[in-house]
Amino acid sequence: MFGKHRLRVAQFARYLSSSAGLAGLPPTLKTVIKAGVDGSDVNITGWVRSVRVQKRIAFAEVADGSTLRGIQIIMDDPQMASKLTTGCAVQITGRLVNSPGREQNKEVQAERVEVIGPSDSESYPLQKKRHTLEFLREIGHLRPRSQTIGAVTRLRDCAEMGIHKFFHENDFVRIHTPTLTSNDCEGGGETFNLITSGTKRPETDFFGRKVNLTVSGQLHLEVFTGAFKRAYTFNQAFRAEPSQTGRHLSEFWMVEAECAFVDRLSTLLDVEEEMIRSTTQHMANAAENDLGFFLKDNEPLAKLVRRLSDNQQYPRITYTEAIDILQQADAKAKFVYKPKWGHGLQSEHERYLATVHFEGPVFVTDYPVDIKPFYMLPNADGRTAACMDLLVPGPCELLGGSLRDHNYERLQNKVEQLGFEEGSLDWYVQLRKFGTTPHGGYGMGFERYLQMLTGLDSVRDIISFPRHAGRCQY
């Protein structure tokens, strides 16, 4: 029996060495706990979350970012904890043992404790007590050490991997679209303009024309849809929007995809829906503990995640049907903005449709053409566009897209009527002259997707360093 135990311990030691992959890198807690064998020697590195010293024993929780919860360190001699403070970096040598506790299955019996980087306990702002997310935003350089932001960060990493996995499994090619551009895609004018310091004409001297930070990679992605039937991008986007709501950022990440040879809006909806479903399923499988941290004691959110993941098609209604639903509900809902055909849906309208009426995701299609961007394909009725928004509880509008207008003359007329800078979109319109196809695409705000899954009120707690009007710290 003891021979088999020694064999398992030896195998565990070899596993830690090989799983680290690179000689010299210490194993993560995730690796140690996953492969842990009772009685094996371990070397733990991380940061102290809490310390508790009693008369004959001391305890500490150490975390390294690889797991939701840290690992408990037991010190039979309280003097071993004499230099430990919350926030300090440590290296602990000891034995991995089975834990009788309910919240962890392994703990470390410490034999040696070394402080690698001390932390001033008097001024360290993160304590074991619960901190508000607003407070954590004020200490953005330290908030990754909190349990909530740590869980968000791992979910963010997992979601990105899930999105890439979906696209690559379905033969999409990733395109790196530019950050600097001479167009603002939707013509809204809410752009950050590039200025070169020390020149007489700072807006035009360097590039010879006005240049801004991109608000979307869509137009550039369409270039590649003339050579690749399926293309996507996962890039940063920037909007100089002064809104201070929990749904808006000045710097954020967008997932955008374009598909050639697509002439039915329903086909595009199928792609979008399967991306959401596949990514959510991936997260439920690969990040169960972190996702569970947000779903615990929140049955409506857990129900939403299950709905996003199941194989039942998301409801699909037209804009006209949405207006009818909202007008019928107005007497009870008492909307501030009265729903009216030809007007955009307000946040209160989107929230009602997703949260109250459908209690889950719902596609709204065929909006009036006059309230949508120039590149969207008009429907045969001449009044509506072949477009959609995906509405969900939480952030409301999660995703938007359309079939793209592939008619050269019609698109040229639109560009001229809207008064874009002369020649600035010639390259885009010219795509319709050389082997154009019916095509379509969409964009999803990455932070909004995670906001939906975590139930957090603000996207400022989803992104590592939030930038918004009046705030660009660090």
Query: Which tens digits make up the pLDDT trace of 187-238?
Result: 666 899 988 887 777 777 788 888 899 999 999 999 999 999 999 999 999 9
pLDDT for 7 equals 47
pTM greater than the 0.85 cutoff: yes
Higher pLDDT among residues 355 and 199, named by residue? 355
Confidence of residue 265 (pLDDT cuts 50, 70, 90): very high
Question: What DSSP character marks residue 352?
Answer: I
pLDDT at 471 (0 to 100): 87
Over the stretch 282-337, which tens digit does the pLDDT of each residue have? 999 999 999 999 999 999 999 999 999 999 999 999 999 999 999 999 999 999 99
* Whole-number pLDDT of residue 182: 86
pLDDT at 1: 47
**Per-residue pLDDT reduced to its tens digit, 395-405:** 999 999 999 99
Q: pLDDT value at position 460? A: 95
**Range 71-96 average pLDDT:** 96
Residues 62-68 have a mean pLDDT of 96
Give the span between the Cα atoms of 258 and 402, in whole angstroms: 10
* Range in 138-142, 238-242, 436-440 the model is least confident about: 238-242
Asked if the model's pLDDT at residue 447 lies above 60, the reply is yes
Q: For residue 271, what are its two tokens? A: 């792609």
Give the sign of the dihedral formed by CA 399, CA 359, CA 455, CA 468. Answer: positive
C-alpha distance across the termini of the chain, in Å: 57
Residues 6 or more apart whose Cβ sits within 8 Å of residue 274? 166
pLDDT band at 14 (very low <50, low <70, confident <90, very high): low
- What span, in angstroms and rounded, lies between the C-alpha atoms of 40 and 96? 5
Contacts of 310 (CB under 8 A, 6+ apart): 277
What are 39-49's pLDDT values in tens digits?
Answer: 889 999 999 99
- For 463, list phi and psi in degrees, rounded to 5: -100, 150
Alpha carbons 260 and 226: distance in angstroms, whole number: 7
Each residue's pLDDT tens digit, 454-469? 999 999 999 999 999 8
**Is beta strand 41-53 parallel, antiparallel or unpaired with respect to 230-238?**
unpaired
* Residues facing 299 on adjacent strands: none
Which residue, among 160, 190, 135, has the nearest Cα to 254 in the 3D structure? 160
Name the least confident of 86-90, 98-102, 342-346, 361-365.
98-102
20, pLDDT greater than 50: no
Which one is predicted more confidently, 243 or 13? 243
Distance separating alpha carbons of residues 365 and 368, to the nearest angstrom: 10
Percent of the chain with pLDDT over 90: 79
Residue pair 290/155 in contact by the 8 Å Cβ criterion: yes
Q: Record the tokens describing residue 425, joined without a space.
A: 């979109």
pLDDT tens digits for range 177-187: 999 998 877 66
Is pLDDT larger for residue 67 or for residue 248?
67
